[in-house]
A and B are shown apart, each in its own frame.
Chain A
Amino acid sequence: MPSGEKIKICQQCGTCTGSCPTSYLMDYGPREVIAAFRAGMIDKVVKSNTIWLCTSCYSCTVRCPANIKITDLMYELKRLAIKYDLLPKDSKNPAMTKYFIDNVSKYGRNHEVGLMAKFMLTKDWGMPFRFAGLGLKLFTAGRLPLAPKQIRGKEEIAKMSAYLDAQEAKAQ
């Protein structure tokens, strides 16, 4: 994360939390996340619901008087949570993230129908029923193509990722 060291100069002003559309549902608001990070108690935050409630709206980031890239920090924490398998039991977000990436690695593009189908089958049995009315409308309007579009260079995505895996292994 470029300029991650900036969190040292957080003034704990709370502008981020006040700007966040979902902070009222978070175990720890963005300001508390920074505080925990600096106090070396980040494991608590990583395990909480906070990071999975971040919508990537960037309100906090553009308003922070210390120019801290809080949204990027939330991404960083999501990565830690996935890497060390510190996921809240009922959270569906990590699965969605994983399927999205599998999808892109395989085809080069995100196939929305395939993504939703896989997600429903594994993580959310109720979704087909709640989604049925809208799904049918979208389908008849031609907004849900069943076949994924594949790009010619699809193996490039996997190759780039393999290269970065090797780099990461080398650095450790």
Chain B
Amino acid sequence: MKYLYYPGCSAESTGKAYDISTRTVMEKLGVELAELDDWNCCGATSYFSTREIDSFAIAARNLSIAQQQGDDDLCVICNACYTTLAKTNRYMAESAHVYEQVNGALNAVGRSYDGTKPVRHIMDVLINDVGLEAIESKVTRRLTGLKVAPYYGCQYSRPIGSFDDTEDPQTMDRFFEALGADVLTDFPAKLKCCGGMMMLTNADVALRLCHEILKSAKDMGADVIVAACPLCEMNMEGYQPRVNSAFGTDYNIPVMYFTQLAGLALGADPKQLGLGMQAVSCAPVLAAIPA
């Protein structure tokens, strides 16, 4: 099994551990990842605020490179990158105007793109291509008894919902059940917004949103929150101390990229998973998993 791989900008800084653990997990599962050559920023949510067509054009540069580089699907780890790239395909298909403008811009730099490169979220690849049975068979350290709060984040299945439900996604629940965890399947904040980029511009609003998620996880008795997006992870984990000072709480809830926890179940060394890069220690999680 082989995929082209788009790490995204966060994977080079705050989300480094997501990239490291993704590569480790995929290797353990025998999935080959070939990094997309000379990829650029997907544009994220900020780019849509300038000129819509620019955001599609820069996203399409990546997709055009992907088409050139090979026939494999493009696997993406960040929810926001995933949505931006998948949305570009969809809008190119829906609108002849978008299609023409994007190709005009690409032609100006000697490229073109027909709008058909499949963009896949890493969880989609794991569940639907690798398969839960195959994954379960490779588990060396079952997550028995570990209370996992699956946090999906907004742009996991919204707005497109191609591989999971937009209102009640289940894939991450099923994935961690396969790894033996005690998944908090009715975690009410699984889709609540973390505030995204607003943590930098309207911190009071974002802190409140994170507070609601953390409170919900604590009330459910979660041992760990798992995330599938660098921004969600950063907001819920890195800003936990600030949530505490803003709301007089004492949260100390480990937040991991879902690939980090999966890596542990698959027997990877914590160092190969970027553990220890977190501001909130994951040591309690490591201690809680039966050896």
Contacts and interface: CB of A to CB of B under 8 A. Distances in A.
Say if A and B assemble together: yes
Interface of A: 1-3, 21-22, 25, 52-53, 55-59, 61-63, 69, 71-72, 75-76, 78-79, 82, 91-93, 96-97, 100-101, 104, 108-113, 116, 119, 127, 130, 133-134, 137-138, 141-145, 149, 151-154, 156-157, 159-164, 167-168
Nearest to B241: A133
B154 A57 contact: yes
Contact of B43 (A69, A104, A154): A104
Interface in B159-173: 159, 161, 166-167
Contact of A134 (B47, B238, B277): B238
B239 A134 contact: yes
23 contacts: A22-B193, A25-B205, A52-B202, A55-B198, A55-B209, A56-B154, A57-B158, A58-B159, A59-B193, A72-B48, A76-B52, A79-B51, A82-B50, A97-B49, A100-B44, A101-B50, A109-B40, A110-B9, A112-B10, A138-B14, A153-B38, A156-B40, A162-B108
B46 A100 contact: yes
B94 A2 contact: yes
Contacts of A133: 241
A153 B40 contact: yes
Contact of B200 (A1, A108, A119): A119
Contacts of A119: 200
B104 interface: yes
Given A53-B202, A164-B105, A149 B45 contact: no
Contacts of A112: 9-10, 13-14
Contacts of A22: 193, 205, 209
A156 B38 CA distance: 11
Given A159-B109, A160-B106, 9 more contacts: A56-B48, A57-B155, A75-B49, A79-B49, A91-B201, A96-B197, A130-B242, A134-B241, A145-B12
A52 B44 contact: no
B44 A110 contact: yes
B94 A55 contact: no
B52 A75 contact: yes
Contacts of B12: 109, 145, 149
Contacts of B205: 22, 25, 53
Interface stretch (B53-61, B118-126, B252-260, B264-272): B53-61
A164 B54 contact: yes
Contact of B104 (A104, A154, A163): A163
A3 B94 contact: yes
A86 to B, nearest CB: 13
Given A108-B40, A109-B40, A157 B58 contact: yes
Contact of B58 (A55, A104, A142): A104
B214 to A, nearest CB: 15
Contact of B48 (A61, A75, A116): A75
Contact of A151 (B40, B166, B203): B40
B168 to A, nearest CB: 12
A79 B201 contact: no
Interface string B1-31: 0000000011011111100000000000000
A151 to B, nearest CB: 5
Contacts of A56: 45, 48, 154-155, 196
A2 B51 contact: no
B279 interface: yes
A53 B196 CA distance: 11
A128 to B, nearest CB: 12
Contacts of B41: 104, 108-110
Given A58-B155, A101-B50, A145-B12, A2 B91 contact: yes
B13 A62 contact: no
Contact of B57 (A61, A93, A110, A164): A164
